[in-house]
């Protein structure tokens, strides 16, 4: 769901105005979407790479803006770009040898502490659980349950049919519930959003 203060139609109108060269509309578009893009990217690749990939998403989006035809909401279009940026990043990192780095849990902890966020333990737990999901299920779950996109919008972002999104989300919930039960935490994920 769009950031507070802006709805999907308003964000799309800013994107269209930015396409026509309106710099203040471009700034409003970025401000209204940056939280959702960062959160989406963070859940796909981890908080350690989220800042850079959020910036990469906006660089790609600004280059692609002249071709934006508003066939979908601008946030949906933007999250599809973010998904491709994450996929490209994952492919690139798979090709190069890994050097010793901070563990993912440490990066998540550092990111949460830096933001001084409430619910730190829950965020770390969710990140850990989502990390264990297959990528296609994680993308569908994050798009619909964390970012708040409709199933149709998530299908567009993930480039697959709506029914596939529904089944991926259902399977992701089953996987998450099973993982939480295995950890001794029977919290209900049906209300996750």
* DSSP result, 111-137: HHHHHT-S-HHHHHHHHHHHHTS-HHH
pLDDT at 185: 56
Mean pLDDT within 55-59? 95
pLDDT at 96: 61
Mean per-residue pLDDT over the chain, rounded: 81
pLDDT band at 191 (very low <50, low <70, confident <90, very high): very low
DSSP 8-state secondary structure symbol assigned to residue 72: S
- Asked if pLDDT for residue 57 goes beyond 60, the answer is yes
For the record, the structure tokens of 172 come out as: 């992701």
Alpha-carbon distance 65 to 19, whole Å?
Answer: 5
- Lowest-confidence pick of 48-52, 79-83, 130-134, 185-189: 185-189
Mean pLDDT within 21-43? 94
Distances (CA, A) of 182 to 19, 119, 175, 185: 49, 22, 10, 7
Alpha helices (H) along the chain: 8-19, 23-45, 47-64, 74-95, 104-115, 120-131, 135-141, 151-158, 162-182
Higher per-residue pLDDT: 85 or 112? 85
The residue written with tokens 């596939």 in the block is 164
Alpha-carbon distance 126 to 124, whole Å?
Answer: 5
- Helix or strand (DSSP H, E) at 3: none
pTM to 2 decimal places: 0.62
- Asked if pLDDT for residue 114 goes beyond 60, the answer is no
Mean pLDDT within 77-93? 90
């Amino acid at each position: 769901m769009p950031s507070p203060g802006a709805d999907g139609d308003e964000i799309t109108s800013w994107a269209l105005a930015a396409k026509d060269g309106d710099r203040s509309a471009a700034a409003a578009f970025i401000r209204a979407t940056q939280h959702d893009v960062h959160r989406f990217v963070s859940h796909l690749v981890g908080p350690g790479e989220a800042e850079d990939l959020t910036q990469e998403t906006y660089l790609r989006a600004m280059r692609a803006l002249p071709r934006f035809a508003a066939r979908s909401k601008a946030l949906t279009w933007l999250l599809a770009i973010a998904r491709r940026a994450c996929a490209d990043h994952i492919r690139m990192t798979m090709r190069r040898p890994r050097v010793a780095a901070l563990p993912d849990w440490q990066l998540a902890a550092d990111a949460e502490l830096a933001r001084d966020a409430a619910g730190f333990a829950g965020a770390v737990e969710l990140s850990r659980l989502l990390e264990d999901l297959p990528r296609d299920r994680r993308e569908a779950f994050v798009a619909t349950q964390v970012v708040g996109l409709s199933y149709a919008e998530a299908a567009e972002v993930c480039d697959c049919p709506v029914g596939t999104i529904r089944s991926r989300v259902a399977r992701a919930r089953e996987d998450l519930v099973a993982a939480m039960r295995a950890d001794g935490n029977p919290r209900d994920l049906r209300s996750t959003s």
